[in-house]
Structure 1
Amino acid sequence: MKQCNMKLPFRFLAAVLLLIGNSTLAQQPARHPAKTNIVIIVSDDHAFQTISAYGSKLVQTPAIDRIAREGAIFNRAYVTNSICGPSRAVILTGKYSHKNGFKDNLSRFDSNQDVFVKRLQAAGYQTAWIGKWHLESTPQGFDYWKLLPGQGMYYNPDFLTMDGKKERKEGYVTNLVTDEAEQWLSGRDTSKPFCLVIGHKATHRTWMPDTCDLGMYDNRTFPLPANFYDTYDNRYAAAHQDMNIAHTMRLGYDLKMHPDTGFGKDNFGRMNMAQRAKFDAYYKPIEREFDAQHLSGNALTEWKYQRYMRDYLSTAASLDRNIGRVLDYLDAHHLTENTLVIYLSDQGFYMGEHGWFDKRFMYEESFRTPMVIRYPGRIKPGTQINDFVMNLDIAPTCLDAAGVAIPAAIQGKSLLPVLQHKSANWRKTMYYHYYESGEHAVIPHFGIRTSRYKLIRFYQVADKWELYDLQKDPHEMHNLYGEKGMEKTTAALMKELQMQIAKYEDTEAMEIVGKK
C-alpha cells in the first residue's frame, strides 16, 4: 500500500524539545489544565461499512481503530437528520433540526443561538473550528475559526479567515485542514483548556483522492452488496429516488472520465500542473480502456460501482491518515491523557446497498454513523457500547466532560454515564426527521427506530408508511405496513411515534400524523 509523505514539523519540534532539557522536564513536569481538553473530528459522508473497527473487510483504518481500541466504539450511533449542514447544527446545539432552525442545506444557521462552545468559552475554554463548516453563517462561540467555503474543494482549496479574507492554500484539503489544526494547537494559550472541532471535507462527493493514494485499490474487485439490484417492491420512496449508481452517478463529475467536458470541471481547474499531471497519468489510461469497451446495462453499472468504491476508499485513506496525525500530535505534546477525542461522520453513506450512493433516507446505511471516543482515565479501553446514541448527544457530553452545566433546552444526553455503564435509564427509541425536498428526489419523512422495528412516514410528495422488522429483515427489503398480522405491532409503534414527536416537540410531524 502506498503511503503519502506528510509534512510533520510539529512532531520534529517535539522530538527536539525532548532532546533538550530532559532534566528540566523532570524537575518541572508538563502542566495540564485541570479541565478536560476536547477534540471533535467530523468527517463528511464516511460510511461505517468502510471502517475496520466496525468489521469492514474492505479496508484498514488504523487511526480510527486506535481511538476505538484505546477508548470506546458505539455500535449503534445514529443521526437525527441525515444531511451535511443540519447534522453539524445538531452537533453544535444538541437540538433537533426543528428546534435549531437548520432543517436542510438551503437553510442558514442562526449563530446567535445557544451552542455548547459558547458555554465552554464562558467556562474559560479556548475554542476553534477549522475546516468544513457548511452552515452558511459566521461562527459564534469560537475564539478562532478558519473555514472551507461551502463544500470546499479537494485540491488547492480556499479558506475563509476571521478578518473577512479568502485565502487559497496549495495542497490537498485533508492534509491542509490538519496543518491548520496543528498550527492553532501550537499557538494556543497553554494555560487554558481547549475545544477544537476539525471539520473534514472527505469523504464527500466527488471522491478525489490525494495523488499519492491514486490506485490504492486497483487490485481489488469489490463484491456487490446482496441488494445491489433491489427492485424496491412495495417501497414507493425507494423506487422514486434519484441517487442510484446506474443512472444518477456521472461518468465525468463522479468518476473522472472526460471530466473537462462535464459538470464539475472546476474541481480539476483548481489543480496545479503537477497535480493534474499525476491525475491524468492515473485516470487517462482507465478512460481509454473504458471508452474501448462500450459498456451498457448491468456491465456499465458494475463498472461504475468498482470505480466508485476505488475512488471513495482512496479518498478515505487520507482521512484516516490525518486522524492519525492528530493523535500523534496529542502524544508528542503530552496532551493525550487529558484530552477527550471524538470521531464521527455527519451521517452514514450508501456503498452500493440498494444500488445507491448518497444518504438522506432513514434506512440504516444513511441513518447510522460511525462514532468512536477516547477519554483516558474515564473510559476503559476496548469498551463496546450497544445503546442507541445520536449526534444529538455530542454537545451535552462535551459540557459534562468540562464540568459545565447542561442547559435544560438541550435534547440530547451526556454519553459519559453510558460509557461508564452507569445509565439504567437510556433511550430505547430514536426519532428521525428529514426535511429536504427535491435533492436526489428523496421524499421528506420522519419516524422511529426501536431495538427491533422501524416505522417511517413519508409525506409532502407522497403520503406513505413503511414498517420493517429489523430482526428478520436487517437490510429493509420488506415493507410490512398494512400486512395482516402486524396490526398490534403497528398500533404500538404508532403510539410510540406520537410520544417521541411530543417529547421532542416536533409540531409539524404531529400535524401530519394527526391526519394519518
Structure 2
Amino acid sequence: SLRREAIQAYHASTTFMDAQLGKLLDAMDRHNLWENTIVVFSSDHGYHLGEHGLWQKMSLFEESARVPLVIYHPEMKGAGKSSGSPVELVDVYPTVADLCELDAPDDLSGKSLRPILEDPSASVQKAALTQVSRRKGRGANADGFKGYSIRTDRYRYTEWDGGKEGVELYDHENDAMEFNNLAEKDEASETVKEMKSLLQESMKRAGSS
C-alpha cells in the first residue's frame, strides 16, 4: 500500500542519515577531534506517519513539533545524560556562542543551554513555543490564521487563531500520544488558565502576535 511504502521510505531516509552521521563521527575518531570540537545534532521539524490522520510536518502535535537535540562538548559534566527540560531550536545559537566563549547579541530570542549541559536536571525556561500557519477555505483569497503551542515538561497547550479556531490541552503524564483534549473539561480549567498565560508570555518573548 502507499501508506506502507511511505513509512518504508521514511525509515530508509533516517537510516541513510544515520549512516552519514556515522561517517562524521568516524572522521572525528580518526583525526582526534573530540577534545576540541562541539557537535550539535538536531532537526528542523518532526514528521507524521499517519498519527492523528496527518502526514509529513506542519502540525502542532508532538510528532511534528518535537525534535531531537543532542549537544556534545568535551568539558560538560552532563555528558551522556538526557534532560526533559523544554528547549527551543533558537537556543542553539546562544548555546554554541556561550560554549565557544563568544559574546552573543543581547536581543536573541534563545537562551544558552549551558546550565542543562552541566546539570541535566536544570532548566532555562518553563516552556517551548511552536507556531504554524493554516488557511481556512480554498483558493488565493482563503483566510489565513496561525496556531501557537507551548510544551512544558507535562502539558501541551495549543490555540488556533487566538482560540477562535480551537483550543487544545494534553497531559503527557497520562496521554503521551495527545489523543485526549482536556481543554473543555471543568477539572482542567485552572490548568488552561495557567497555560494560556504561559503561552502569552512565550509569544511576547518571541515577538509573536
TM-score (norm 1): 0.36
Q: Distance in 1 between matches of 2:201 and 2:188?
A: 20
Q: Is structure 2 residue 198 aligned with structure 1 residue 500?
A: no
Q: Distance in 2 between matches of 1:418 and 1:484?
A: 36
Q: Which amino acid aligns with 2:173?
A: Q
- Residue among 3, 10, 16 paired with 1:318: 16
Per-residue CA shift, 1:66-96, capped at 9, x if unaligned? xxxxxxxxxxxxxxxxxxxxxxxxxxxxxxx
For residues 212-227 of structure 1, the aligned pairs below 5 Å read: none
For 2:146, the equivalent position in structure 1 comes to 444
Contact conserved, 2:79 with 2:117, CA < 8 A, in 1? no
**What aligned pairs does 1:138-287 form with structure 2 within 5 A after superposition?**
none
Contact 2:85 2:122 in 1 (8 A): no
Aligned residue type for 1:339: T
**Matched position secondary structure for 1:337:** coil
Q: Equivalent residue for 1:227?
A: none
Kept after mapping to 2: 8 A contact 1:453/1:469 = yes
Aligned residue for 1:465, secondary structure, equals: strand
Q: Please report how far the alpha carbon of residue 432 of structure 1 lies from its aligned counterpart in structure 2 after TM superposition.
A: 2.1
Partner of residue 345 from structure 1, selected from 14, 22, 43 = 43
Secondary structure of the structure 2 residue equivalent to 1:317: helix
Kept after mapping to 2: 8 A contact 1:445/1:458: yes
AA at the equivalent of 2:51: E
Q: Deviations over 1:142-201 (max 9, x none)?
A: xxxxxxxxxxxxxxxxxxxxxxxxxxxxxxxxxxxxxxxxxxxxxxxxxxxxxxxxxxxx
Runs (4 or more) in structure 1 with deviation over 6 Å come to none
Q: Percent identity between the aligned chains? A: 30
- Secondary structure at the residue paired with 1:427? coil
Q: Give 2:106's aligned amino acid.
A: A
**C-alpha RMSD over aligned residues:** 2.5
Structure 1 residues without counterparts, runs of 5 or longer: 1-302, 509-516
- Mapped to 2, the partners of 1:428 and 1:304 lie a distance apart of 40
Number of equivalent positions: 202
Question: Aligned equivalents of 2:103 and 2:19: distance in 1?
Answer: 35
- Cα distance change, pair 455–327 in 1 and its aligned pair in 2 (3 A): same
1:483 paired residue among 171, 185, 195: 185
Q: Structure 2 stretches of 5 or more lacking a match?
A: 137-141
* Partner secondary structure for residue 67 of structure 2: coil
Match for 1:467 among 151, 169, 173?
169
**Would you tell me which structure has more strand in proportion to its own residues?**
2
Amino acid at match of 2:131: H
Name the structure 1 match of 2:139.
Answer: none
Distance 2:75 2:56 in 1: 38
Q: In the alignment, what sits opposite 2:110?
A: 412
How high is the TM-score relative to the length of structure 2? 0.85
**Aligned CA distance change for structure 1 residues 468 and 406 (closer, same or farther; 3 Å):** same
